[in-house]
Structure formats: C-alpha cells, structure tokens
Chain A
Amino acid sequence: MPFTRINSKMIEAQIAPGQRVFSQRGAMLAYRGPVTFTPSITGGQGGLMSMIGRRVANEATPLMTVDVPAGPGGPGQTPSGTVMFGHGGHHIHIVDLTGETLYVEADRLLAFEGSLRQGTMFMGSQGGVMGVIRGQATGQGLFTTTLAGKGAVAFMAHGGVIELPIGPRGPVHVDPQAYVAHRGDVRNKLTTALGWREMVGRGSGEAFQLELSGNGMVYVQASEEKL
C-alpha cells in the first residue's frame, strides 16, 4: 500500500518509478525524490468524454497527477519518491480497495492510486426520483464520484471517521450531513420521519436519514459540517 499515515491529518505516499497517484490540486505539503506534479486538465482518468461528464456533473475538483518518471537507466535505477499530503487541517482516512467500489464526494477526495478506475454516478440511477431528492438533501448534488478496482484512497472528513459495517443484521441509518462515503454492494435510500411536529417547527432535527442496507461499510464523520 503506497499510503501511510503520519498523523491523523497528514499522509505519506510512496511512489515507485513509473507509478502514478492522483491528488487534489494543491494538497502536496512536502516531497522527496524526483517527483513531478502535472495539473490534470481532464480532472482524472478516462479521457475527454469523462472530463465532459465530470464538468456537467459538477464533480470536477481540480486534480493533479503525481508521478515519478522512470529514468534513462530503467525503472530499477531511478529512486522512488515520497510525497506528503494534507489539506485544510481535515482528518484523513485511508481505505484499501480490493475490487469493490467506493462512493465518495469529489471534494472529499484527497488522493488515490492511479490503478483505480474513476467514474461519475448519477444519483437517480439508484432509486430514481428519490435518489435525486436524496442527493439534494445530503448536499451531494445529483452526482457522486466512484472509484473501483484495487488500490488505496485517502479522503477527508471533519473530525475523524468511524466505520460502521452494513450487513445482514439490518440497515444502518446515517444523518445525511454526517455521511462521508460508502463502499461495497450497498443500496441507499432516503427515509423521512416527517410528522406534525416538523410542520409546527418542533422537529427533533433528525427528519431525514439515509438508510443503507446490503453488504459493505459506511464512513461517518463526527460532525454535521460540510468540508
């Protein structure tokens, strides 16, 4: 795994020659070795069509590619590079993906390995109209970013993250504002507990909840603030 945590708010990436990491633009803190930083105009992987897709979906966070070019002596001769990342003093969580898909907001992404496939998902494709409403309620918008394959991802959260497993024991409910990301084969839907109390302004502040069921993991932050 190329990502190691230095403390709760900084990570270090080991990049071997010829390898590549995508990171949020400007999130580099320090580096060692022959590392190059290139702004990624297309905002990630997948060429021009994906770029247009991300622009339209408003999931186009400025990204840069961080790579260590293989020198003339071949990959074995070039020293590997070390890059430290951090952003805004937010807590960073590292997730190792082994074939499953991670769903996360683009602006929460700090860095991810080049071996992962990046994509954009329309919220309406999971749950139709309710999916669209859910996107609005969680402040995620209509689209979210997906990362699939094998590799490591580092994302940010306000105040640290707890992991809650989703299994056959029953659904897990999450406050939409505290939801950070989820992975695995998970169905989510927005449940409402609107009653006469909400109508008269006496709500408990928990009127909307995300209900996640299936098999996987959800990441919840210790705060109800956006980044």
Chain B
Amino acid sequence: MAFLRLQGTRVLAVDLAGDAVRAKNGAMVAYDGEMTFKKMTGGGEGLRGLMTRRITGEAMAVMEVKGHGTCYFADRATEINLVRLDGEKLFVEASNLLVTETSLRTGTTFTGLRGASQGNGLFTTTVEGTGQAAILSDGPAIVLRVTAQTPLVVDPGAYVAHTGGLRQQLQTAVGWRTLVGEGSGESFQIRFEGDGLVYVQPSERITVGGQL
C-alpha cells in the first residue's frame, strides 16, 4: 500500500512496496530503491477518458510510478497539501494535481462559466474513491468549510480545489466603474453553497476577471 507523507511543505515522499501511484509527468526529484516511470496516455482513464481530455483541453500528463523504496516529488517549489478521500469527490484543476493513489479514479466534468473566468477552461478534473491525493497550491492553502448557513465566496484566481456536495455559481459585480476602468479588481467571484470544503491559495492566478 502506497504511503504518502510530507517532507517539509514542498516535498512529498511516497513509500512504495511493489505497488504504484500516479503522478504528474516529470515531478520526481529523487528516489532510492528501484523505480520505473511510465507515461500513462490520457491520464490512465482508458480510450474514452483520453478522447474526453483531448476534446475538453483538460489535458493531464500523468506517469505511473512503480517499485520498491521511497520516491520524492515536488513541482516548482509550490506547497503540497494531502487530501484523504473516503468515497467523496474532489474537484481540482489538472495542473494542481501532483500525486494520486491508484485506488482513486480520475475524470473530467463540465464547470460552466466559472472555469472560463478562472482562466483554466470550461472543464475540471475530478478525483473520487478511497485513498490519498496530493494537490499543489502556490503558497500554503487554507481550507474553508462551507455549511448551509455559511456560504462562501472565493476569488476565481485563488481557488484551488473543493470537496463535498457544493453548488457553485459565478457572481459578478460589474458596474459603471468597471466599464470606465475604475474597477476594484474583484468583479468576478465564485459563490459556494451547500456542505463541503474549499481549498484557497494565498496567491491569484492571472485571470480575465482579475483584471477588471
């Protein structure tokens, strides 16, 4: 059984005993023992998954790491967060997904207008099943709980991932000020309602909405 643990906040160590994990292509920084790296075409989701990813542009370059020993992963010195899933679904951008256990299934879903405002397309990656996943965030991510009484509004550029039964909708605050170039830079927001967790990073991606 693969065992994921953090070595500091930016390096993920995975102990393998003959089993495998799926990782972002090229994210290995070091290993001891015996490891083999094999690229999985189409994110290891079969032919249908491959076609979906090609069409949706949510391309995910994934490799299968298999062997005995400890393998270390890191990506551009960004912070790593471990997420344990017990049957629920994790929504995350493909570029923010570092490692998943093989017991987890990955797929693609349609996100609608929100995706476009985040600057990462109309589709997002889903991870479901039981096991651990490691997600990347630019700076240490905070986890915010959403309940029925307390909805949450997030800047699209700072959103990283979410789990649980959440409804999301894009809300705009575009007024005459935005149109004359005096916007506050917060014209687009995502509103989460329901019950679940949202991961927010202390940094904003360059988005179309963020400029207004």
Binding site for B on A (CB under 8 A): 158-160, 162, 164, 169-175, 178, 193, 197, 202-206, 218, 220-225
A205 touches B72 (CB 8 A): no
Asked if A160 and B8 sit within 8 Å, CB to CB, the answer is: yes
Q: Contact between B38 and A169 (Cβ–Cβ < 8 Å)?
A: no
Complex: how many Å from CA A223 to CA B75? 5
Distance in angstroms between the alpha carbons of A5 and B35 in the assembled complex = 36
What are the 8 closest A-B residue pairs judged by CB atoms, nearest first?
A: A159-B77, A205-B26, A222-B10, A178-B29, A204-B63, A223-B77, A222-B74, A204-B37
Residue ranges of B at the interface with A (Cβ–Cβ < 8 Å): 7-8, 10-11, 25-33, 35-39, 41, 61, 63, 72, 74-78
Can you list 10 contacts pairing A with B, beta carbon distance less than 8 Å?
A: A159-B76, A159-B77, A159-B78, A164-B30, A175-B29, A204-B26, A205-B61, A222-B8, A223-B75, A223-B77
Determine which of B32, B63, B74, B76 lies in contact with A164 in the assembled complex, contact meaning CB atoms within 8 Å: B32
Closest B residue to A174 using CB positions? B30
Give the docked Cα–Cα distance between A218 and B41 (Å).
33
Chain B residues, Cβ within 8 Å of A175: 28-30
On whether A162 and B11 interact (CB within 8 A), knowing A169-B32, A221-B29, the answer reads: yes
Q: Cα distance A222–B61 when bound, in Å?
A: 20
On whether the beta carbons of B31 and A172 are closer than 8 Å, the reply is yes
Q: How far is the CA of A173 from the CA of B70 in the complex (A)?
A: 10
Instruction: Give, as a whole number of angstroms, the nearest-CB distance from B62 to chain A.
Output: 9
Chain A residue nearest in CB terms to B24: A205
Specify which chain A residues have a CB less than 8 angstroms from the CB of B76 in the assembled complex.
Answer: 159, 223-225
Report the minimum CB–CB distance from A89 to chain B (whole Å): 11
**A160 and B77 contact, CB distance less than 8 A:** yes
The CA of A178 and the CA of B75, in the complex, are separated in Å by 10
List chain A residues, Cβ under 8 A from B27. Answer: 205
- Shortest CB–CB separation between residue A162 and chain B, in angstroms? 5
The CA of A73 and the CA of B31, in the complex, are separated in Å by 56
Interchain CB contact under 8 A, B25 and A162: no
Is B74 a contact partner of A172 (Cβ separation < 8 A)?
no
Asked whether B10 lies within 8 Å of A160 as measured between CB atoms, the reply is yes
